[in-house]
Amino acid sequence: GQNIDQPTEMTATEGAIVQINCTYQTSGFNGLFWYQQHAGEAPTFLSYNVLDGLEEKGRFSSFLSRSKGYSYLLLKELQMKDSASYLCAVYSGNTPLVFGKGTRLSVIA
């Protein structure tokens, strides 16, 4: 089966750092995506990991450990506009993307 777990909700303070974890169990693995989704809008691409290690892109970084079935998204210097849902998705090769339920992040002043 396919299973992707991530926390339902997180709260963090403006200017702080937050780490959103994702664990996965899928029948295959060809890469892991992180998407940001503001309420009522479509998901937008943040990062893609296919090899182990850290990928950094500005204030956002994503880490992957394939042996542990684990990834995290790191957001630095949080801004109010970062309040959104963050979706972890695995490309297993059998279906385009298998998504987790998403983590709703609230950034507070």
Partner 1 sequence: DAGVTQSPTHLIKTRGQHVTLRCSPISGHKSVSWYQQVLGQGPQFIFQYYEKEERGRGNFPDRFSARQFPNYSSELNVNALLLGDSALYLCASSLVGTNEQFFGPGTRLTVL
Residues in the site for partner 1, rule: CB under 8 A? 4, 30-31, 33, 35, 40-45, 48, 87, 89, 91, 94-102
Cα separation, 16 vs 33, in Å, equals: 23
Cα separation, 35 vs 18, in Å, equals: 16
Min. distance of Cβ 13 from partner 1 in angstroms?
A: 24
Judged by beta carbon, residue 94 or residue 106, the one nearer partner 1 is 94
Supply 18's token pair. 């937050």
Supply 72's token pair. 């995290």
Cα separation, 25 vs 1, in Å, equals: 8
Judged by beta carbon, residue 1 or residue 109, the one nearer partner 1 is 1
Judged by beta carbon, residue 41 or residue 56, the one nearer partner 1 is 41
Closest Cα to residue 68, out of 17, 99, 25? 25
Min. distance of Cβ 44 from partner 1 in angstroms?
A: 7
Min. distance of Cβ 35 from partner 1 in angstroms?
A: 8
Q: Give, as one character, the DSSP assignment of residue 96.
A: S
Min. distance of Cβ 95 from partner 1 in angstroms?
A: 5
Judged by beta carbon, residue 8 or residue 65, the one nearer partner 1 is 8
